[in-house]
A and B are shown apart, each in its own frame.
Chain A
């Protein structure tokens, strides 16, 4: 027996026609509680918050010089004065981790924002318009999806001068395809909802309809995908930096630190590879856990209409 039947059977006001008692809890609170109950998701959130604080607040408490190299102090082991040692040009590794974290997180959030923004606008419009326009727009998406993101990234990164902003744009521009697909799916189903029809009857203009009715009711899908976008962006930036296409020093990010550190693997300088590596893994896993938690929390809710 379907869940709708059961909900109807239980006589709540969700059942069409009821003039019965009103549901006890707002869906927002239901979702919040569902998320909070998910220990892994909360742990993920805690990790993200901790790492963000580490990267942005850390340097205020732990001052290191991240601009001038000190070749005399290169590749020192962790010890007094340098809890995580120094890297190959004498920067303090712990401080570097913080500064690198700033860039990594900035690019990740920024790229995710660009990807989601672009994807939502494209997908919602395509789904709402339907027909030929939808077909055309989604063929563009399909075509771009066929190109491996990494190649596209490498190409763009070699053409344009790398900077934080550039990285954000470049990564965002390759990542928007997935949210576009997702939101287009939502739009296709939402455009037949009666409140959308009602808006059309009222003469509300399509861009307004798309924003006010379609996007707002797809917020669950969008949010979930956004968290996964952040995780993916971190990996993409790390990959780019790995290939030497990241930002030039003294700026750095975790991916670059990892890539540089790998040159010294056989020298046993573990503090050059493990800290950035672990940081990347932690962040990516944390965001994935948050995404899963959000998806479950929203999934719980869509059942009840």
Chain B
């Protein structure tokens, strides 16, 4: 049972708005044309709606070019949506005052993928972890030092290492620093962009265990973005599968992987190499290459690679339909029967 569910049981009254709520968010990047000559915009994210509740982990899975990283950045506020709203606890971020936005910023922090590029090589660990506290202000040096020490202990770093530089640490240790930094301002949500992809297999489990532990201790919510299906499947409470800027399917992990509705989800699942004795599951291979994000296919964007594509798929974009409680997919000819509306 997640923290959110426990809270829901014991709290009476109107439901609280989700921590983060994306409503039909679109992000297009203008093409790199010179003045007056606009190239086709890159449609990084198109019409995505997603919610993250307190204490919950939402996983976004997809391959390169699907827009998942852009989505993470939209949630954190590093990017502003071209259309749609990003709501924090019910309030649209664009409608907030500067002061409100600044305060809200410390509720959502980010943990980055590349442990080598995520830390300024010229700063000591203590300074790195302290930086968000300095930026927020309102604390004294000894207060910050104490907090840094506390955070270091929580993520399993020795206090003696705080005066070291990132280059002296291993990949796993650097990720711990990244995590400590993300937690410095006690955020409610941490966006974790490929948190373990750059780490060795045996180190991944250490970091994932740590993240789970911290989540339990601090009622943290995670928005985990990854191309690695096994990590998302293990960690997330709710998964959204993205392809070329859109969510094609979403639902609980068990449901999604036992009976996916969308062909892309099915292909992703079967593409994961498994070191089992049996030698892997039946492969639902997909053909072809990823279309360009500046000129996505008409209708269903996946149709150019889908084994079940038909004429309708080129004409009409499939709407998101329900396939069970919390399970949605956008497909004209899904693998399972949708729940009647």
Contacts and interface: CB of A to CB of B under 8 A. Distances in A.
Interface of A: 13-14, 16-20, 22-23, 26-27, 193-195, 197-205, 208, 212-213, 216-217, 305
B149 interface: no
Given A27-B167, A193-B117, A216-B120, A19 B132 contact: no
Given A198-B112, A202-B106, A305-B116, 16 more contacts: A13-B169, A16-B198, A16-B199, A17-B200, A19-B171, A19-B203, A195-B120, A197-B78, A197-B110, A199-B131, A201-B78, A202-B185, A204-B131, A204-B135, A205-B135, A217-B121
B181 interface: yes
- Of the listed residues A18, A20, A205, the one surrounded by the most CB atoms of chain B closer than 10 A to its CB is A18
A201 B170 contact: no
A189 to B, nearest CB: 11
A274 B73 CA distance: 64
A199 B129 CA distance: 11
A201 B199 contact: no
Given A17-B199, A18-B200, A203-B132, A198 B110 contact: yes
A202 B131 contact: yes
Interface of B: 73, 76-78, 102, 105-106, 109-110, 112-123, 131-132, 134-136, 167-173, 178, 181, 185, 198-200, 202-203
Contacts of A213: 120
A199 B168 CA distance: 21
B78 A200 contact: yes
Contacts of A13: 169-171
17 contacts: A13-B170, A16-B198, A17-B171, A22-B168, A22-B170, A23-B167, A193-B117, A194-B112, A198-B118, A198-B178, A201-B77, A201-B78, A201-B109, A201-B110, A203-B102, A212-B120, A213-B120
Contacts of A22: 168-170
A126 B116 CA distance: 26
Smallest CB-CB A-B distances: 6 pairs? A202-B132, A19-B170, A194-B118, A204-B135, A194-B112, A17-B200
Contacts of A204: 131-132, 134-135
